[in-house]
Structures are given as C-alpha cells and as structure tokens.
Amino acid sequence: MLGRTRRTTRLDVGLALSMVGVAYLVWAFVAGVTRQLVADSIGYSSVFDAAWPWSTRAVRVLFVEAGAALDVVGLAWLVVSLVLVLYSSRQRLSASWAWLSGICQTIVAALGGVWVAWAVHLPYRPATAPADNSPWAQLSGLSLGGVPGAAAGGPRPPEPPRPQPPRRPQNQRPAVDARPRIVC
C-alpha cells in the first residue's frame, strides 16, 4: 500500500479505516487516563503539600481544566482522517495519507501521555540529589521510586481503606422459606 503506484483497493481503504479508528481509540484512552491521573495528583497534592513545578501546572491546565478542548481536537483529527480515507476510496489520494494521519495521532497521544506521567511525578521527587548522579541512576530512580536501594524515591500517597464485606456467623444459614408456594 505505501509507495505503490497502482490504484487503491478496497482492502487498502479498509485497513486505513481501521487504522484511523484504532488511532482515535488510543487518543481517547490516553486523554481519559491522563485526565484521571492529573485529577488524582491534584487530590494527593493537598495531602503532601507538594509544590507544583511549571510543567505540572501546565499539564493541569491543559489536561484537566481545558480537557474538553483535547476531546474536540481528537474528534477533529478523526474527521480529517476519515475525509482522507474517503478521498482515497474515490482514488483522489493515496491511502498512505490516512495511514500517516492515524499514525501521527497515535504518536501525539503517546507523547502527551509520557509528558503527563513525567509531570505528575515531579512534585514527589526527593528534595536531595541521589548519591549516584549518573543518568542511569536517575532513570532507575524514576522507574523504581520508593523501592529500597533505588537511586531516588519519594513519598507515596496513602492507600484508601478498602471496604470489607459484611460477615455472617459460620454456622448460620440464610433464612429460606421451605414451604412450597402454590400459584394459581
């Protein structure tokens, strides 16, 4: 499909259409997860009194306060990609343009997710520099934060209490009416 000079087939159009759909699903999933991650971080910041760096404040504004704009951008990108699929089915464009649009949407969503994950972690990094300042130690400190022996680790938010199901005594059976019922 990519780079061919022959006509666009139905299979090419179907594959491009499925790629566009998967790209929008990735966009919607990343937007929802990052919005929830930032909202949880806002809740935890009141517990830890963490100072928010500029990147974390920017993520808060972009992904929570203006989150509807990201949804509109994702839908607009979906419409543009679907128009490209339509043009490729009419032999006006190559199906590669629809593929490129879908791939770019997925890459932008992934980069946005990485930025949010990095920015949400910033307020909880340790105040002192780790003993080993090599780039590898700093990278492992980010991924292993809170593990004993890791290069860096910050405080973790407290776990919310889990509700316990009500318990009944061991030898007690549930009340059941043993009489047969007659229905007329």
User: Which of 55-69, 78-92, 127-141 is the least confident region?
Assistant: 127-141
pTM attached to this predicted model: 0.62
Asked if pLDDT for residue 127 goes beyond 70, the answer is: no
Which residue intervals of 49-157 are DSSP H helices? Answer: 54-60, 67-89, 96-121, 135-143
Which of residues 88 and 128 earns the better pLDDT score? 88
pLDDT band at 22 (very low <50, low <70, confident <90, very high): very high
Query: What is d(CA 12, CA 1) in angstroms, rounded to the nearest whole number?
Result: 6
